[in-house]
Structure 1
Amino acid sequence: MKSTFKNILFNFRDTIGALLVAIKHPEVSVWSKIIIAVAIAYALSPVDIIPDFIPFLGYLDDAVILPFLFFLAIQSIPQPLFEECKLKAKNAFKKSFGFVMLGLLFVLVAWVIIAGIIYAFVALILRIIKL
């Protein structure tokens, strides 16, 4: 079970990377690039067709529309070209892994600093009102 879930996650990462490489590839048709752009924009957008606060339906649209858009994007690219883009994405990820970890470290340090500032501010306010 673990290996299957892990494979799904890594395949998803590779698929997203391959789509990002494919959108820049000159042999990919304009129609395919539009589908890829819509799929990636919908995945990253905080705006949904059905808002998430509507019980069940809000999450159902993400569970149905997003995989469908990615399926369309993958099917619109010829398979050999998609495999080439997937390989390029894997190599790019391996090369940039150190930068990704550095960025992650930067974000974590920023969150710790922000949490410390909020803690100090709340402590100061509580001291002023003497609670």
Structure 2
Amino acid sequence: MKRLQAWAKQLKRELYALYFAYRHPRTPWYAKLLTALVVAYAFSPIDLIPDFIPILGYLDDLVLLPLGIALALRMIPADVLQQSRQQAEKMESRPKNWVTAALILLVWLGVLLCIAFLLLGHI
């Protein structure tokens, strides 16, 4: 259990580092793009796949997010990443990305509307 907690803490630190690396002017555009997607999703208060859905709900947290973090970290220059990690160590609270949360809510609303349209259209 302690290993899992340490791993989660490390992932959180890396997310903060990615947040700062995204804002760094020397981060390449393609790394910024992936980093923005990963950080926005991680900091969003709403998951694309809600956690109450069995198995799939935790799949993004346990598999997709760590893979996205690892890929983004590989794209960032070493010196930029080192500076970003130093900034991340000082970070105390996690920023919320309400724009991403709103987009995810819109996606779910769209799915629900499509389901309702299909159901009402066949009645």
TM-score by length of 2: 0.60
Which one has a bigger Cα radius of gyration?
A: 1
The one-letter code of the counterpart of 2:53 is: I
Q: Determine the C-alpha separation between the residues in 2 that align with 1:7 and 1:47.
A: 22
> In structure 1, what residue type is equivalent to 2:83?
E
Farther-moved stretch of structure 1 (11-20 vs 24-33): 11-20
Q: Mapping of 1:42-53 within 5 angstroms? A: 42-45=41-44, 46-48=46-48, 50-53=49-52
2:71 paired residue number: 72
Deviation at residue 69 of structure 1 after TM alignment: 1.2
Question: Distance between the aligned counterparts of 2:31 and 2:23, measured in 1?
Answer: 11
Total equivalences in the alignment: 92
Cα deviation for residue 21 of structure 1 reads 1.1
How far is 1:20 from its partner? Answer: 1.4
Q: Name whichever of 32-41 and 12-21 sits farther off.
A: 12-21
Paired letter, 1:88: Q
SS at match of 1:83: helix
How far residue 17 of structure 1 moved from its aligned partner, in angstroms, is 1.7
User: Structure 2 stretches of 5 or more lacking a match?
Assistant: 94-123
Letter in 2 for 1:86: R
CA contact (8 A) 2:22 2:35 kept: yes
Task: Give SS of 1:28's match.
Answer: coil
Alpha-carbon RMSD: 2.3
Extract structure 1 runs of 4+ deviating beyond 3 A: 4-7, 50-54
Q: Distance in 2 between matches of 1:55 and 1:14?
A: 28
TM-score of the pair, normalised by structure 1 = 0.57
Partner of 2:84: 85
In structure 1, runs of 5+ residues without a counterpart are 101-131
| Partner residue in 2 for 1:105 | none
Q: Percent same amino acid at aligned positions?
A: 36
**Structure number with higher helix proportion:** 1
Higher RCO (Cα < 8 Å, 6 or more apart): 2
Deviations 1:88-111 (A, max 9, x none): 222x33xxx5xx5xxxxxxxxxxx
1:51: Cα distance to partner?
A: 4.4
